Amino acid sequence: MGSDLRLGTLCYGCGVCTSSCPIARTNPIFDPRQILRKIIVGKEDLYLENTIWLCSMCYNCQERCPQGVPVADLIFSLRNLSCRSGSVPQAINLQLDSIRASGKTYPLDEFDMKKREKAGLPRLKEKVTDVAMLLEENL
78 near ligand SF4 (CB under 6 A): no
58 near ligand SF4 (CB under 6 A): yes
The region of 17-25, 44-52, 92-100, 107-115 touching ligand SF4 under the rule CB under 6 A is: 17-25
Backbone φ/ψ region at 80: left (φ over 0), alpha (ψ -120 to 50), beta? alpha
What is the C-alpha separation between 33 and 8, in angstroms, rounded?
10
What is the C-alpha separation between 98 and 104, in angstroms, rounded?
6
Q: Which is nearer to ligand SF4, 14 or 133 (CB)?
A: 14
Among 4, 9, 14, 27, binds ligand SF4 (CB under 6 A): 14
What is the C-alpha separation between 38 and 8, in angstroms, rounded?
9
Q: Residue count at the site for ligand SF4 (CB under 6 A)?
A: 27
23 near ligand SF4 (CB under 6 A): yes
User: Contact, 2 vs 71, CB < 8 A?
Assistant: no
User: Which string of x and - marks every residue 26-45 that binds ligand SF4 (by CB under 6 A)?
Assistant: ------xx--x---------
Nearest residue to 60 via CA among 49, 43, 47, 75: 75
Among 7, 47, 52, 60, binds ligand SF4 (CB under 6 A): 60
